Amino acid sequence: MAERRFVVEGPQAVREALAAGGLLELYVVDLGDPLAIQAAAQGVDVVEVSTPVLEALAETVTPQGLVGVGPLLDTDLGTALPSAPRLVAVLHEVADPGNAGTVIRTADASGADAVILSGSSVDPHNGKCVRASAGSLWHLPVVAGAPLEEVLHALRRTGVQVLATSGTGEDELFDLAEDGALVAPTAWLFGSEAHGLPEDALSAADRRVRIPLLGRAESLNLATAAAVCLYASAQALRSYGSAS
């Protein structure tokens, strides 16, 4: 991180980094690998190494033959948020890199405009987060380390409603979907799986929303809850676009 670079490990991440022009170096055990050939053609410094050396470079126990190095994907709030965003995911104080990476992937899949990791959330360049994002880290703007107050101010300046998820929220997701509330531009605010959102974050939101649990499960994990909420918004926005 001191050199403002991070590890890009595995074929999927390397492929997406190459497509985005975001790879500086690539270490491979086989120069004949199609991704190694593509990288060399793009001017990336490709270095052949032995399997033990690659294993030492990699973070996973069984690396998949490719370890890249890319520049940090720094994005500030002003750059990440378009003038009229329709859907944004905000992760506040989320420390688990697997959850954060999965939410980035889900936000990408649901057509979100950006992902914001506020407060002391995990760095999106964390190796596990990069792998969990499955390449989506290069598909949409991801902001890291922004204070929540600044995030909320920036979001409201663009006219989005802020919906905070809470197991005790007074609004139920199904009701919001039925009454058309999710047609409005929305920023979903998610907290950590262990502690949820702090009271100040909940009180700052326009609404506090709970996902109904129809069976006997005690709760949903963060990544699943984010998928349910983001796709509920995506469906509402799609239906609205079809009707208009």
**Following DSSP, what letter does each residue of 32-94 receive, concatenated?**
TSHHHHHHHHTT-EEEE--HHHHHHH-SSSS--SEEEEEE-----HHHHS-SS-SEEEEEES-
Q: Which amino acid is at 86?
A: R
- CB 66, CB 27: distance < 8 Å: yes
More confident residue, 239 or 201: 201
Q: Do domains 5-71 and 77-243 have the same CATH topology?
A: no
Instruction: For residue range 88-106, list pLDDT tens digits in order.
Output: 999 999 999 999 999 999 9
pLDDT of residue 38 exceeding 90: yes
- CB 96, CB 165: distance < 8 Å: no
- H or E element that contains 13: helix 11-19
Query: What letter would DSSP give residue 196?
Result: B
pLDDT of 238: 87
Domain covering 77-243: architecture? 3-Layer(aba) Sandwich (3.40)
pLDDT of 193: 83
Mean per-residue pLDDT of the chain: 93
In angstroms, the Cα distances linking 93 to 78, 113, 116 are: 21, 20, 11
What homologous superfamily does CATH list for 5-71? Ribosomal protein L30/S12 (3.30.1330.30)
Domain boundaries, the chain: 5-71, 77-243
Copy the structure tokens of residue 117: 């990791």
Question: Of 148-157, 170-179, 220-229, 235-244, which gets the smallest average pLDDT?
Answer: 235-244
Section 69-91 average pLDDT? 93
